[in-house]
Structure 1
Amino acid sequence: MQRSTLNPNRTFGVEIEFFGVRYDRVIEALTAEGIDVKHESYNHTTRRHWKLVYDSSVNKTGTGNSEGGHELVSPILKGKEGLAELGRVLAILTAIGAKVDKTCGFHVHHGANDLNLDGFKNLFAMYYKFEKWIDMLVPPSRRGNFNRYCKSIEQTQIDQMAAATTMNQLGGIFQSRYIKLNFQSFWVHGTIEFRQHGGTLEPNKGIQWVTFTQAMVERAMEQKIRVTHDRDAVDLDKQERRFRRMIFGDYKAGCLDNEYGQAFVFQTERRQHFQSRVA
C-alpha cells in the first residue's frame, strides 16, 4: 500500500448515537471543555460546530430511558487534530453518564469527492469480499443482514455494479442509505458512510474505527479489487490474512508499525474478543 499513515487531508465526520443523559447536560459539559456545540432540531445540514439532535431510532427502544435517544454529529474533521477532538468528545460523554446499547450506532463519513467510479466500485467490492470478517469486528446486533439500519451488500448488487458506467447508475444500484456502506451520502455530503459499527463512547475504539475505515478508502483508490464470491467458503483466519495483504502488501516486519497498521491490529483484537465470548 502506498500510504501507511493517516491521510491528513482526508476529511471525516461522525454520528454518535447515545442515551441516558439530558440534552442540556450534554451541551453544558461539552461547552465547558471548549467544544463548540448547539442543540438543534433534526436536520441533515453539515455544520461548522457539533450539533446535538433527537434520534428516534434509539428512543425508548431497549434504553429504559424516558429522555430518549440523542445523536451528536461532528463538523468536518481531519487528521490527528480531528481524531483528538473526537476522543475528547467521547471521553466527555462517558464522564457525564451517557450510555449506548444495541439500538445505537457509530457512523463514520469519509470525504469522497476525489473518488471516481472505479474507486467506489473497489470500495464496495472490498466491503462485500470481506463482509463476513468485518462482521466479526462488531457486536452480533450489527452483523449479517438483520439490522434494518445497516443491511448487507447483496451479491446481485455487486453483479450489477460491474456494468455501471456512471455514478448515477451506481447510485441506482445502492439506493438505500440503510446499508453498511452508504453511497447515498455522496449526493448529499460528498462522503461515503460506514454504518456498521455499533454505538461506542470509548475514545480509542472510535478513533481506531475511523482510522481503519480511512485505510479502506485509501486502498480503494489505488488498485482494482477483484470481486470473488467464495467468501462463505473461506475461513475467517484466511480472510484476515487476505485483508492484511490487500492493505499492506506482503507481510514484512514493521509493516504494522503505523497508524493504519495499529488500527488493523486493534480490529483483530476485537475479533478475538467476540470469538472468546462465543467459545
Structure 2
Amino acid sequence: MGGSAQFIVGNTYSKIPDDAAVYSARRGIKKQHDVTIYVDVLDNPDLIERVTFDLGSTFTPPKFVHNTPVPVKRPNGAQAWRFATRQSVFGQFTAEIKIRGSGGSTHDVSHYVSFTPESRQRKGAVMRFNEPRHERPFRMAALSDDAQFGIELEMSSPSYNSEYQIAQNLEETNDLQIDVIDTWSGGRSTSDHWKLVPDGSITCNISQPDCNRFEIVSPPLRSGGGLSQVNKILRGLSGENVRVNKSCGFHCHVDVSKYSHRQIVKICQQFIKYEDAMDAFMPKSRRSGSNESDRYFQSNARAVKDQARSSYMSGIWAAHNLLSNCSDTQELANVMCPNGRYYKLNLQNLKNGRQPTIEFRQHSSTTNYEKVSAWVRFCVRFCENAANLAPPTPFKRGRDVDSKFEALFCFVIKDRALRNFYKKRKDLLEYESDGPCCTDCSSGRGCSQWLIDA
C-alpha cells in the first residue's frame, strides 16, 4: 500500500566558452550556460515512476520526461537516484517539475535555475513524496512514432499441418495477407505481406521427426501499430499446432536508415561493450561458447577483439578503437561480421544494400507476445539511445556481469519495466539445466515453458 520517498531538487551549472556556444534558433542569442536540472531521490527510487520537466515555451520541446534514474553520489557521499534534464540556455528561468508516483499520485515543484556553481548554491531542502495508492508495475515505454522494425520467428509444425493451412487460418482470423514461399531464397525479398518461408536450420523435436520447418517473416512494421500486428499473428498461431525448440531463433531487424555512419559505429561499440550482459538473459544454448552460437550467432565482441589483436593495440580498448576507425559501412560490417551474417548483431544488409536494417539474431523463438514485444522494444531502444549517446567508454577490467546488466538498462535502454522483465528472465535462467530436460529438441522434452518458449 503506497509509501514515501525523500528527494532534493537542484541544478548543476557551468559556463560554456564563447567559441563553443551556439545560438538559440528562436531568439538568435548565444546559449552560454550549461545546466542540469535534477530531482535526486534519496531512498525508495522505484516509488517514482517518472519526472516531467516543463521548461517553458522558449524550449523545443517545452517538456522533457525522465523515467529511469541514474545512480549518483551526493556531495556528502550519500547514494541517490537522479532524474534530470541537461540543457544549454541563454538566460535564467523557472522549471516546473511534476513527480509522478508508481501509484499515479503526483507532486509539483517549481525550481528557479541558478547560474552559480552547485557548490556555492544554497543547499536544496529535503522534501518528501507520498504515494498513498497501491504501487503498479512499471509499463514498458512506447516505441517512438518513427521506429521501424521487422521480425522472423522460426517454428515447426507436424507434417500433416502444412504451411498453407497455417497461412489460410491466419488470413481468416487476422485480415492480413500471408504469402507461402516455397524456397528460402524466394523469401529474402522485402514484401508488404507476412510470409511463411522454409527454414532448413531448424531441428525437429524427437516426437516429430518429419516436421515442417519454417519461419514466419513480417513485412516492415512501424511503432505500436506494428506491435499490434505481431500480437494478432501470435494470437492466431496459438490455435495452430506449432512448436518451438532451442534450435529455433527469433530475429529482429531494426531500420537504421535515419542514422549516420558515426551513429551506427556507436551502436556497434555499445553492443560489444554489453554483449556479455545480454548473454546473461539468454538461454545457455544461445550464449557465446555454445555449439549453436558458434554456428548461427557468433560473438561480435570476440570477432572485433581478434582483429584488434593484430593491430598496434590489444583488448577491449583496441576493439572500440578499431570500430571508431572504420571509414564506411562496408568496413564496419567486415569488422563486426568478418565471416558473413551468422553473428549476434548482423550488418550484412547494410553491407550489400538489400535493406537499411541491422539484425539482432541471438534471441530464441517464441509464440509469446510479451516476450516478442519486450525484445523488439529492447532492440529498437538499444539502437535509438546508443546512436544518440556519446561514444561509450569500455568497462574497467574485472567489472562483473550483474553490474554491467544494471548499467545497460540504466544508461542505454533507460526503461525500468524492461529491466525488471529481463532481470526476472536472467534470474530464472541461472537455474537452467544443460541436461535433456531443457533441450526439447532431438534429445528430449522441455521442462519449463518460460525457458524453452523464451
**Residue 299 of structure 2 contacts residue 344 of structure 2 at CA under 8 Å; is this kept in 1?**
yes
Q: Secondary structure of the equivalent of 1:188?
A: coil
- What is the percent sequence identity of the aligned residues? 25
1:238, distance to aligned residue in structure 2 (A)? 0.8
Q: Partners in 1 of 2:386 and 2:271 — Cα distance? A: 10
Q: Which has the larger radius of gyration?
A: 2
1:12, distance to aligned residue in structure 2 (A)? 0.4
**Residue 277 of structure 2 contacts residue 404 of structure 2 at CA under 8 Å; is this kept in 1?**
yes
Q: Partners in 2 of 1:88 and 1:221 — Cα distance? A: 31
**Residue 62 of structure 1 contacts residue 101 of structure 1 at CA under 8 Å; is this kept in 2?**
no
Residue matched to 2:324 = 162
Aligned residues: 267
Change beyond 3 A, Cα 1:225–1:156: farther
Change beyond 3 A, Cα 1:145–1:229: farther
**Residue 110 of structure 1 contacts residue 193 of structure 1 at CA under 8 Å; is this kept in 2?**
yes
- Within 5 Å, give how 1:92-171 maps onto structure 2: 92-146=236-290, 147=293, 148-153=295-300, 154=302, 155-156=305-306, 158-159=319-320, 160-171=322-333
**Residue 212 of structure 1 contacts residue 264 of structure 1 at CA under 8 Å; is this kept in 2?**
no
Residue matched to 1:28 = 168
Q: Partners in 2 of 1:185 and 1:261 — Cα distance? A: 31
1:39, distance to aligned residue in structure 2 (A)? 0.3
1:276, distance to aligned residue in structure 2 (A)? 3.8
1:228, distance to aligned residue in structure 2 (A)? 1.8
1:94, distance to aligned residue in structure 2 (A)? 2.6
Which has the larger helix fraction?
1
Q: Secondary structure of the equivalent of 1:15?
A: strand
For structure 1, list consecutive stretches of 5 or more residues without a partner in the other structure: 250-259
Residue matched to 1:223 = 389
1:227, distance to aligned residue in structure 2 (A)? 4.2
Residue matched to 1:246 = 411
Q: Partners in 2 of 1:95 and 1:180 — Cα distance? A: 31
Change beyond 3 A, Cα 1:129–1:63: farther
Q: Secondary structure of the equivalent of 1:113?
A: coil
For structure 2, list consecutive stretches of 5 or more residues without a partner in the other structure: 1-63, 67-140, 308-318, 434-454
Change beyond 3 A, Cα 1:152–1:230: farther
Q: Secondary structure of the equivalent of 2:354?
A: helix
Residue matched to 2:232 = 88
- Within 5 Å, give how 1:28-47 maps onto structure 2: 28-33=168-173, 34-41=175-182, 42=184, 43=186, 44-47=188-191
Residue matched to 1:254 = none
Q: Partners in 2 of 1:91 and 1:217 — Cα distance? A: 28
TM-score by length of 1: 0.88
Residue matched to 2:144 = 7
Residue matched to 2:349 = 185
**Residue 112 of structure 1 contacts residue 192 of structure 1 at CA under 8 Å; is this kept in 2?**
yes
Q: Partners in 2 of 1:2 and 1:103 — Cα distance? A: 41
**Residue 62 of structure 1 contacts residue 103 of structure 1 at CA under 8 Å; is this kept in 2?**
no
Change beyond 3 A, Cα 1:63–1:75: farther
Q: Secondary structure of the equivalent of 1:196?
A: coil
Residue matched to 1:199 = 365
Q: Secondary structure of the equivalent of 1:243?
A: helix
Q: Secondary structure of the equivalent of 2:179?
A: strand
Q: Partners in 1 of 2:166 and 2:269 — Cα distance? A: 39
Change beyond 3 A, Cα 1:191–1:211: same
